[in-house]
A and B are shown apart, each in its own frame.
Chain A
Amino acid sequence: MAVARGRRTLAVILALLTIGGCASPDEPAPPAASSPASAAFPVTVGGVTLDERPDRIVSLSPTATEVLFAIGAGPQVVAVDDQSDYPAGVPVTDLSGFQPNAEAITARTPDLVVLSNDINGIVASLTTLRIPVYLAPAATSLDDAFRQWRELGTLTGHPADALVGQVGTEIDKLVAALPERAKPLTYYYELGPELYSATSTTFVGALLGRAGLTNVADPADANGAAGGYPQLNQEFLVKANPDLIFLADVTCCAQSAATVAARPGWDTMTAVRAKQVVALDDDVASRWGPRVVDLVRAVTDAVAKVPA
């Protein structure tokens, strides 16, 4: 899984943070990413109350890890799960967010645990042990993601408003720069070669909808029974003939424009013929952290290249 993450992306984020600090005059002097915590404790977010700034944070969510480091709470993070691989140098351990083990977590003597799933009653277990837990489940919208960033900011003493403002602005700018089209482009977003996709009701689907795209997967989960992640029928997909294909299964499943073109019948599709098959970064595409800007940029770049 682990892929060498480019320093480029880190640089982008650092740049964003710096710009964010300067470009938000309305904000009440947002702290730079590395500044000491200035927020007052105790704080309460949802059901979590922290009497003082946490200094031993355990993050079992790759997204939360990215957010924590982006807002400057990185030095307070003592351990992250085995899937957290960004930014470079995070304290990776063999802890698992999919199979969280209360004992193993407790052994790190955390004063805040961040989880994306409450599996096996882990929240209850940790709460019994008086360890504060912040649950950050998969975001359902950009605003939902922003809320989580802000809450993580509040909990760690590193307000995330600047980051939120910057990312929001950047996305708006990317979307606004897209050319006008008489007819919206259609797309298929692939999560796996078994043709699992994401509808417009998902985080990523909503994001692509912002770029003015129409999702061909929407009819496959019209009532939401599949949770927004239906497995599409191949016949349907070839006939639906999307203008763009986004692959979020590049790293996991070795998919590429070439493997897609080699699938039976797919060479008749517009997206394949016009070379509008876009390889995304699996991890960026499946997380709801600050790198979501990279995802939107990859999408808008591809959309801009399609002749209007």
Chain B
Amino acid sequence: MGPARRRPGPRGHGRGGQGPRVTRLRPLWWLTGLLAVAVAGVAGLAFGPVPLPPVAVATEIVNLLPGVRMTSGLDEREVAVLLQLRLPRVVLGLLVGAMLALAGAAYQGVFRNPLADPYLLGVAAGAGLAATAVIALDGPRTLLPAAAFTGALAAIGLTYLLGAAGGRDRSPAALILAGVAVAAFLEAGQTWLMQRHADDLREIYSWLLGRLATGGWSDVRMLLPYVVVTAVVVLLHRRELDVLTVGDEEAAGLGLHPQRSRLILVAAASLGTAAAVSVSGLIGFVGVIVPHTVRLLAGASYRAVLPLSMLFGAAFLMLADLVARTAVAPAEVPIGVITALFGAPFFVLVLRTHRRVAL
């Protein structure tokens, strides 16, 4: 699969120049993305630490349709394994992967920085500190999602305030630097809490490394609305994101409100990230690797990058989770370890192959 034979729209980020012109998303990439999601989803359902016959799996899935009732030959516990554990886990991987990749892409556009992702902006650190506090201070575990969510929003708010505190010069670089400072500060607080409550380390650590391991339909139900809202808001702003990459003056010249668009996009991406993080723990690399890979393959226009990031992010995380639960079965590998282990080298590979069209 060669690179798209055309110049990417904007040359890099924030370097000015012409806005993207040839930005129609090619059907080929749509098909590839959808195929990737389908393959990852089917693989995720077919394989697991408990071997289930593929025909029986397919039968049970078809049984989910209203009015269908076929015999699959699975016993009650195997049906529970498939429908209550494996299926929601695959769906959760799909949602979280799509969300993190989309949020990463949005951040990169808003801050005109290819490295911007939920981690750099302090969102993940805020969620991490709040979740650590709940665990370390023996708060009810049902508070975990709400706490992570609040922490994430508080952190991005703090980052935004600090980044914008310079007055009129609200440069993207200032925001990124503020994010780094906020993240470092929050992570220090988290480390301190962990040291004070070393007996909770295992639980905290497990959350910090990411875990779709104990998810179920309740997590899916909790996450879905946020994913939908975030996706709709961000996708509706795909044109603004393209314009923002060429600079605020140009954007204003085209009749847009750069600061307002930026605020809406940051709020939406943070909301989605916080929701994802609150059910899945901290899963790194998806937000930075997937959008970049998409950009290298299909061009830098956000009209392509946003939806394709969702598709490839979903596929990537579903496959990463498949590895996480089968590699050392019946034990588990934290999914954050898998995303880093596979994501980083894959990213370097893509970068090397397509260096010319890269940054």
Q: A253 and B203 in contact (CB under 8 A), knowing A193-B141, A236-B50?
A: yes
The interface-forming segment of A39-47, A102-110, A148-156, A226-234 is: A226-234
B332's partner among A231, A252, A265 (CB-CB below 8 A) is A231
Q: Quick check: B332 and A254 within 8 Å, CB to CB? A: no
How many A-B contacts if CB must be within 8 Å? 108
Residues of A within 8 A of B86 (CB): 235
Contact assessment for B217 and A220 in the assembled complex, using a CB-CB cutoff below 8 Å: no
CB-nearest residue of chain B relative to A229? B202
Q: Decide if the interface of chain B is mainly helix, strand, loop or mixed.
A: helix
Contact with B along A256-296 (1 / 0, CB 8 A): 00000001110111000000000000000000000000000
Of B80, B202, B328, B329, which is within 8 A of A192 by CB? B202
Q: Chain A residues near B203 (CB, 8 Å)?
A: 192-194, 252-253
A219 interfacial by beta-carbon distance below 8 Å: yes
A268 B332 Cβ-Cβ under 8 A:
no
Residue A221 interfacial (CB < 8 Å):
yes
Question: Given known contacts A194-B213, A196-B202, A220-B331, is B88 in contact with A264 (CB within 8 Å)?
Answer: yes
Chain A residues with CB under 8 A of B48: 233, 235
Asked if A98 is at the interface of the complex by the 8 Å CB criterion, the answer is yes
A169: chain B residues at CB < 8 Å are none
| Chain B positions 197-243 with a Cβ under 8 Å from a chain A Cβ | 198-200, 202-203, 206-207, 211, 213-214, 216-218
Interface contact A98-B198, CB-CB below 8 Å: yes
| Cβ contact within 8 Å between A219 and B330 | yes
- For window 183-197 of chain A, which residues contact chain B by CB distance below 8 Å? 191-196
Check B50–A194 contact: CB distance below 8 A: no
Q: Who on chain A is nearest to B325 by CB? A: A233
The answer on a CB contact under 8 Å between A231 and B331 is: yes
In Å, the complex CA distance between A221 and B331 comes to 7
Known: A236-B49, A239-B50, A264-B88. A1 touches B199 (CB 8 A): yes
Is A141 among interface residues, defined by CB-CB distance under 8 A?
Answer: no
Interface residues of A in 217-253 (CB under 8 A from B): 219-221, 226, 230-241, 252-253
> Contact check: which of B84, B216, B332 meets A195 at CB < 8 Å?
B332
**Contact of A232 (CB < 8 Å), options: B50, B138, B200, B332:** B332
A98 to chain B: which residues have CB within 8 Å? Answer: 195, 198-199
A300: interface (CB < 8 Å): no
Verify if A215 is at the interface (C-beta below 8 Å from B): no
A9 interface hit (Cβ, 8 Å): no
Known A99-B198, A263-B216: A233·B77 in contact at CB below 8 Å: no
Q: Are B213 and A233 in contact (CB under 8 A)?
A: yes
Which of B85, B195, B200 is close to A252, meaning CB atoms less than 8 Å apart? B200
B187 on interface, CB distance cutoff 8 Å: no
Q: How far is the CB of B337 from chain A (nearest CB, A)?
A: 12
A232-B330, A235-B325, A268-B80 as given contacts; A191 in contact with B88, CB under 8 Å? no
Measured in the bound complex, the distance between the Cα atoms of B52 and A236 in whole Å is: 12
By a CB distance below 8 angstroms, the chain A residues around B161 are none
Assembly CA distance A277 to B214 (angstroms): 19
A63 in the interface (beta carbon within 8 A): no
B81 sits at the interface (CB 8 A): yes
Give the complex CA separation of A175 and B284 in angstroms. Answer: 48
The one of A221, A236, A238, A253 that contacts B80, using a Cβ cutoff of 8 Å: A238
Give the Cβ gap from B145 to chain A, nearest Cβ, in Å.
14
Q: Are B141 and A253 in contact (CB under 8 A)?
A: yes
In whole angstroms, how far apart are the Cα atoms of A90 and B64 in the complex? Answer: 59
How far is A21 from B213 in the complex, measured between Cα atoms in Å? 50
Task: State whether the Cβ of B27 lies closer than 8 Å to any Cβ in chain A.
Answer: no
When chains A and B are docked, how far (Å) is the Cα of A239 from the Cα of B52?
11
- B positions within 8 Å CB-CB of A: 48-50, 76-78, 80-81, 84-86, 88, 138, 140-141, 195, 198-200, 202-203, 206-207, 211, 213-214, 216-218, 325, 328-332, 334
**What would 14 more interface pairs be, CB under 8 Å, given A1-B199, A226-B331?**
A83-B199, A193-B141, A194-B213, A230-B331, A231-B332, A233-B49, A233-B329, A235-B48, A237-B330, A238-B77, A238-B81, A252-B203, A253-B203, A264-B84
